[in-house]
Amino acid sequence: MVSEIGAGLLLLVGVAQDDGEAGADWLAGKVARLRIFSDEEGKMNLSVKDAGGEVLAVSQFTLLADTRKGNRPSFIRAALPELAEPLFDYFCGKLREESIVTVKTGRFGAMMDVALVNDGPVTIILER
């Protein structure tokens, strides 16, 4: 599956077993207000809302891989689909409530081809 967005954010979202709605609420607010887009002077001073940007949120359980022991990643911290999918959908709904007009997602658990053109070497990890 391929999904495209214009100027905006690609969010890779990992849902852990102990995640809940309070964390999703916090994360949606943080994503909506994080000043990571350039203003007219080239300074990172605008949020995705300020910039009129879009969001593509992709559920990515592999972000929770534990590689400390052995050579095979363990995904034991990742939430099972019965918890992860509704919480991921809830999070995307909260982004929309934060006035981000366009929030796109793929199909939960589906294979997706995601191409990225980075505006500078910026990757930010958000954890609560």
Contact 36, 124 (CB under 8 A): yes
Contact 50, 8 (CB under 8 A): no
Count helices and strands in the chain by DSSP H and E runs: 2, 5
Q: In 3-state terms, what secondary structure has residue 56?
A: strand
The question of whether 67 is a catalytic residue gets the answer no
CB under 8 Å to 110, separation ≥6 — which residues? Answer: 1
Tokens of 36: 């990571």
Q: Which residues are catalytic?
A: 62
